[in-house]
Structure 1
């Protein structure tokens, strides 16, 4: 296994158990505007994209700025209302992050959330000062463009081959591929393992704790692609 120095995490569906909330809020926004509902599977398929790109993917007939901003505002208002109660972190996330820190890894977040949204989530979980660097979709090109990963690599002074990205969506894995970074697919989040495997991640995990075991070189059934 490469000597990784930097671990880059997606937020929603990778660290935070927030997929159900995102799906529900998207349904509420569509209903508020009188738009036809989209399936849960379709909504999960856009998680990871910057919000406007997600809206345009689900509702391509919304073409004017007024239409798109109307949906964005309806979604954001409902999401902020629900975010007064923080989404839970997945089991084992906090202890694993603490262990990664103790082992000397640099830690980063690359997310489709807005800067304000990520700051709120980090504060709710007491993680505001935990990561070396974070990048959000409203300050860089959105996923799967590699810009946010490239900026993280530059900030941390780490070569691509020494970084590992963990994400639950195809946009995460494609972003990692374009940046020349190894990826781990988290099949417990937005998209299932059979979808993520098409992007040839180095490892598939069914729980966040699998990552800690793998990186810690403990005894674990390895689910590296091509090895089970």
Structure 2
């Protein structure tokens, strides 16, 4: 049996821990900011190529749609928590607000994402692990706790991140944007737990987004933990049962 400890106090016995990736395990804010800027620059170029007059509202609207603010990224913004398709729809909606019909707006948005993908096909290594995450994951794995990632990244993106950091052997499974339903549907939690052969109440979920934590509560997860240390601006997580800012705040006691 393994007892999770938070700042020296026990918070429960669990057989599995489900982790979000971006902003929880991964220090993804700098990479996501670069991605947002690349998509915005490409969108501006595509807008000009259509023969539309320059529109001073396009950049600020796209920045707000992606969650860019004050030189950082809002931890609850579209780019931080939503899947690729949702971000594509956000961009298309901005184009509609500026006068495009929906078919053209969606075509522009899809083309923008494709071009950015092509230009960044030799992108740098996956985002770094957040401090002290590696040793916590090793302790949990060594204690026989099943670990899984539940993320709106693609399955290949999750696997690339885990492989790059040498973590693949510590995780039993993942639930990605390629799986249906996507989070924050509570059914995503239920199906992932079924894959792990665990009940939700025997699992903890740790994430940095209110949507994830609310999903976990609805799904009947036994312990809902909000992680605050992944962003320059700390997220607001009212659904969290517990909160932490550093992975070293979590300890573990094992008994035969």
Per the normalisation by structure 2, the TM-score is 0.74
Distance between the aligned counterparts of 2:212 and 2:232, measured in 1? 11
Out of 200, 203, 209, the residue aligned to residue 248 of structure 2 is: 209
CA RMSD, 1 decimal = 2.4
Task: Check if 1:187 corresponds to 2:228.
Answer: yes
Task: Check if 1:92 corresponds to 2:126.
Answer: no
Aligned to 2:6: none
The 3-state SS of whatever aligns with 2:94 is coil
Q: Which structure 2 residues correspond to residues 1-228 of structure 1 after superposition, within 5 A?
A: 1-34=11-44, 35-37=58-60, 38-39=63-64, 40-41=68-69, 44=75, 45-46=77-78, 47-57=80-90, 60-62=93-95, 63-64=102-103, 65-77=106-118, 80-82=121-123, 84-181=124-221, 182-190=223-231, 193=234, 195-196=236-237, 198-199=238-239, 201-210=240-249, 212-213=250-251, 215-216=252-253
The 3-state SS of whatever aligns with 1:2 is strand
Distance between the aligned counterparts of 1:74 and 1:149, measured in 2? 33
CA distance 1:183–1:75, shift in 2 (3 Å)? farther
Q: Deviations over 1:150-201 (max 9, x none)?
A: 12110112111111111111222122122111311111124855611x22x1
Structure 2: gaps (5+ residues): 1-10, 45-57, 96-101
Q: Deviations over 1:116-153 (max 9, x none)?
A: 21121122112223211111012222221123211211
Comparing both structures, which one devotes a greater share of its residues to strand?
2
User: How many residue pairs align between the two structures?
Assistant: 212
Structure 1: gaps (5+ residues): 218-228
CA distance 1:76–1:177, shift in 2 (3 Å)? farther
CA distance 1:191–1:148, shift in 2 (3 Å)? farther
